[in-house]
Structure 1
Amino acid sequence: MLALSFVTGTEPGKWFERFRERTTHGELLATGSDDPLTELLDARATLTLLRLPEARLTDELRRDLHVVTLYSETPGIALPKDSELTLLDRLTPADIDGEIIHYDGTDATAVRDALPVVAANVGVVIAPRPLLKVLSRKQIEHREYDSPDHRPTEIALVWRRADDSEAIQDFVGIAKGRTVNSSRQAAPKRSAREKALAKQARRGDAPPKRAGRGGGRRRR
Structure 2
Amino acid sequence: MLTLAFVTGTEPTKWFRRFQRSTTHGLSSFDSDDAFQDLVDKRCDLALTRLPDARITEEFHVVRLYDEEPGVAVPKESVYAEVGEAVEMHDVVDEHVNFDGGTIADLRAALQVVAANVGVAFAPKPLLKVLSKKQVVPLTLKNGPQEQTTIALVWRKTDDDDAIQDFVGIAKGRTANSSRVAAPKRNAKEKRLAKEARRGGKQPLKRGQRRGR
Give the Å deviation of 1:187.
3.1
Aligned counterparts of 1:6 and 1:70: Cα–Cα separation in 2:
13
| Residues 106 and 128 in structure 1, CA contact (< 8 A), matched pair in contact too | no
Pick the aligned partner of 1:68 from 55, 63, 68.
Answer: 63
Corresponding residue of 1:33: 32
- Alignment of 1:87 with 2:94, yes or no, is no
Corresponding residue of 2:112: 116
**1:114-149 CA-partner distances (Å, limit 9, x unpaired):** 111111211111000000011111111111112352
Structure with bigger gyration radius: 1
Residue 5 of structure 1 aligns with an amino acid whose one-letter code is A
**1:57-113 CA-partner distances (Å, limit 9, x unpaired):** 2xxxx2111000000001100011111012333223321133111111253221112
- Alignment of 1:146 with 2:142, yes or no, is yes
- Alignment of 1:161 with 2:160, yes or no, is no
Q: Which runs of 5+ in 1 are unaligned?
A: 199-212, 214-220
Q: Which runs of 5+ in 2 are unaligned?
A: 204-212
Aligned counterparts of 1:55 and 1:180: Cα–Cα separation in 2:
35
Give the Å deviation of 1:197.
6.8
| Residues 61 and 157 in structure 2, CA contact (< 8 A), matched pair in contact too | yes
Higher mean displacement: 173-182 or 103-112: 103-112
Aligned counterparts of 1:148 and 1:21: Cα–Cα separation in 2:
41
Give the Å deviation of 1:23.
0.2
RMSD: 2.1
- Alignment of 1:96 with 2:92, yes or no, is yes
Alignment of 1:1-220 (within 5 A): 1-25=1-25, 27-57=26-56, 62-88=57-83, 89-105=85-101, 107-147=103-143, 149-188=145-184, 191-192=194-195, 193=197, 196=201
Higher mean displacement: 32-41 or 179-188: 179-188
Higher mean displacement: 125-134 or 186-195: 186-195
Higher mean displacement: 105-114 or 45-54: 105-114
| Residues 89 and 144 in structure 2, CA contact (< 8 A), matched pair in contact too | no
Higher mean displacement: 3-12 or 116-125: 116-125
Higher mean displacement: 186-195 or 73-82: 186-195
Give the Å deviation of 1:181.
0.7
TM-score, normalised by the number of residues in structure 2:
0.84
Give the Å deviation of 1:51.
0.3
Residue 72 of structure 1 aligns with an amino acid whose one-letter code is D
Counterparts in 2 of 1:185 and 1:99: CA distance versus 1, 3 Å: same
| Residues 77 and 126 in structure 1, CA contact (< 8 A), matched pair in contact too | yes
Give the Å deviation of 1:185.
1.7
- Aligned pair count? 195
| Residues 78 and 126 in structure 1, CA contact (< 8 A), matched pair in contact too | yes
TM-score, normalised by the number of residues in structure 1:
0.82
Identity score, percent: 52
| Residues 73 and 121 in structure 2, CA contact (< 8 A), matched pair in contact too | yes
Aligned counterparts of 2:202 and 2:124: Cα–Cα separation in 1:
55
